[in-house]
Structure 1
Amino acid sequence: MTVAWMVLVGPSAPSGALSAGSRPVEAVRDVVPNRVMTWNICNPCEASNVDRAAEIARFAPQVIGLQEACVRDVEWIREYLESLHGLVYHVEYGTVLQDWGRCGGVPWNPGAFGQAVLSAAPMTDRVDVEYPDGGSEDRGYMAVTTTVGGRPVRVFNTHLAQRRQEAVRADQIGVLAAEVARHDRAIVLGDFNAVPDAPELTGIWALAADTAPQCHPSSTGTCKPTTDWQSKFDYVFLRGIVPLEHRVYPTPYSDHHLLHTDLDAT
């Protein structure tokens, strides 16, 4: 009854409402094992959470890192993934802003904004860290431990300072890299707002490799763009884990593409 009522009336937030133009979708039986995804879902953007959920379900990753995510939007995306696609996820949040204007809500209960991780397997040991200097907007990272390929792995999800704030991003990378270095097996997802050869990314390149073996910070590296302006800003960095194949998928529902990768987690 709850699902039927939701489909009829849609969520209370306009961005999550079902629309007459939403395309039909097919149920997905289960997630793709060992597949991880990162996606900056764009906020504020006029995108339906039904469509966002359908884009995620198209690839059915085991682990998803979302950036620029309002808690209410993620709640609806998660609900639609289960009710419309048969995909069941656990969720953890890494919020850095209580932002009424951006995420809706009411003054005494504003919407929270930041990162989120959805995982088919349970997650433990969540941490939520705000960078000492966020730049023009508060930024941070979150981390959880979950199971990929039958083995525990630490998953990080971050969103670094906006463009033209190189020094701020360098300091943020220092904070993030110090924590990543503590783990032999780690997956680092996120929107780094910097191209691969940007000097501020040196600290993370020293610890982990991009999921695309041909993508590296040298002049000979070949990296697929992940944004509408043809820059690579989005990464799946791997430490102690071998990539199998990856795909960058442009989407009309965000100015960032979906990036997913299959892993040999053994």
Structure 2
Amino acid sequence: MFHSEEAVVLGRGTRLLAGAMIVACAVLVGPSAPSGALFGRSLPVDAVRDVVPNRVMTWNICNPCDESNVGRAAEIATYAPQVIGLQEACVRDVERIRDYLESLHGLVYHVEYGTVLRNRSRCGGWPWSPGGFGQAVLSAAPMTDRVNVEYPDGGSEDRGYMAVTTTVGGERVRVFNTHLAQRRQEAVRADQTRVLAAEVARHDRAIVLGDFNAVPDAPELTRIWALASDTDPQCRPSSAATCEPTTDWHSKFDYVFLRGIAPLKHRVQPTAYSDHHLLHTDLDAP
């Protein structure tokens, strides 16, 4: 039979253990996970089961949209690209997406950030430590030589580009990820592409991912077209070209530009988790 002091200690220990288990479960599921999300969203039967080594993806994940990071991770896992460039990405969201890709889908990615804005209304956080907002690159292979550049003029909101060197299709390549100024800011975007093009031109082989907020024949994209081709061979800087829309408002704003690299096939996939579609392409690896 227990003495009263022993019973008190045991009761307190039991409560502490139960509390620790609750906290651990909450951390695992995360605040962005919907009810029952511990097991993840079911993937389509034709979903990729491992990382595709020559596949790259760009996706503006939409912010603020208050979408499920479990769902975002499931969308990425369906196609399992070697490299993913995300725009409008909060650091906390990317951390959770990466964790869900590993814990729910068995896909392990490295991550690098291109934060250009720290804003509590965008990404939450404490007033003295607001969340980071900008770009992110996830890669199944390690990344080196990261640079993060904020454009001199972001327009109505800070914007920039990031770049890393990583492996795609067994070859080392420079990967850029950018988000240009919002619509109706053509002159600002022209200045931004001048900065970006100068850096892309330094590399014989490069992949440029991003949301350019401009249709293919927009004058501000001229410098990029002079250096690289779109992954879709039918899409060119001409009003007569056939370019598949990448947004819910039926415009092509999202690009995978290739310099010194040939595409094999690409796909644009609408998603319920963003107003931008997923765009991924398989590259012709040597």
**TM-score, L = length of structure 1:** 0.94
Unaligned runs of 5+ in 2: 1-19
User: For 1:80, which of 96, 100, 117 is the aligned residue?
Assistant: 100
* Higher helix proportion (structure 1 or 2): 2
Following superposition of structure 1 onto structure 2, how do residues 94-243 of structure 1 map, counting pairs within 5 Å?
A: 94-243=114-263
Alpha-carbon distance in structure 2 between the residues aligned to 1:7 and 1:212:
43
Alpha-carbon distance in structure 1 between the residues aligned to 2:56 and 2:24:
32
Partner letter of residue 164 of structure 1? R
Alpha-carbon distance in structure 2 between the residues aligned to 1:67 and 1:6:
29
How far does residue 7 in structure 1 lie from its aligned partner after superposition?
7.0
Matched, 1:91 2:111: yes
Alpha-carbon distance in structure 2 between the residues aligned to 1:198 and 1:8:
45
Partner letter of residue 224 of structure 2? I
Alignment RMSD (CA, Å): 1.9
Aligned-partner SS, 1:38 = strand
Structure 1 segments, 4+ long, off by >6 Å, are: none
How far does residue 219 in structure 1 lie from its aligned partner after superposition?
2.8
- Aligned residue pairs, count: 262
Q: Indicate conservation of the 8 Å contact 1:226/1:248, yes or no.
A: yes
Matched, 1:45 2:61: no
How far does residue 30 in structure 1 lie from its aligned partner after superposition?
2.0
Partner letter of residue 227 of structure 1? T
For residue 18 of structure 1, what is the aligned residue in structure 2?
34
Deviations 1:95-118 (Å, cap 9, x if unpaired)?
Answer: 000111110110121100000000
Q: Indicate conservation of the 8 Å contact 2:53/2:170, yes or no.
A: no
Alpha-carbon distance in structure 1 between the residues aligned to 2:273 and 2:192:
28
User: For 1:65, which of 57, 82, 85 is the aligned residue?
Assistant: 85
Unaligned runs of 5+ in 1: none
**TM-score, L = length of structure 2:** 0.88
Deviations 1:67-101 (Å, cap 9, x if unpaired)?
Answer: 00000000000000000000000000000001111
Paired-residue identity, %: 81
Deviations 1:23-71 (Å, cap 9, x if unpaired)?
Answer: 3348964201100000000000021000000000000000000000000
For residue 3 of structure 2, what is the aligned residue in structure 1?
none
For residue 273 of structure 2, what is the aligned residue in structure 1?
253
Aligned-partner SS, 2:117 = strand
Partner letter of residue 103 of structure 1? C
Q: Indicate conservation of the 8 Å contact 2:83/2:138, yes or no.
A: yes
Alpha-carbon distance in structure 1 between the residues aligned to 2:186 and 2:49:
43
Deviations 1:221-255 (Å, cap 9, x if unpaired)?
Answer: 11000000000000000000000000000001100
Alpha-carbon distance in structure 1 between the residues aligned to 2:210 and 2:246:
11
Alpha-carbon distance in structure 1 between the residues aligned to 2:79 and 2:28:
27
How far does residue 8 in structure 1 lie from its aligned partner after superposition?
7.9
Higher mean C-alpha displacement, 243-252 vs 144-153: 144-153
Alpha-carbon distance in structure 2 between the residues aligned to 1:258 and 1:224:
12
Question: Which protein has the larger Cα radius of gyration, Structure 1 or Structure 2?
Answer: 2
Q: Indicate conservation of the 8 Å contact 2:41/2:70, yes or no.
A: no
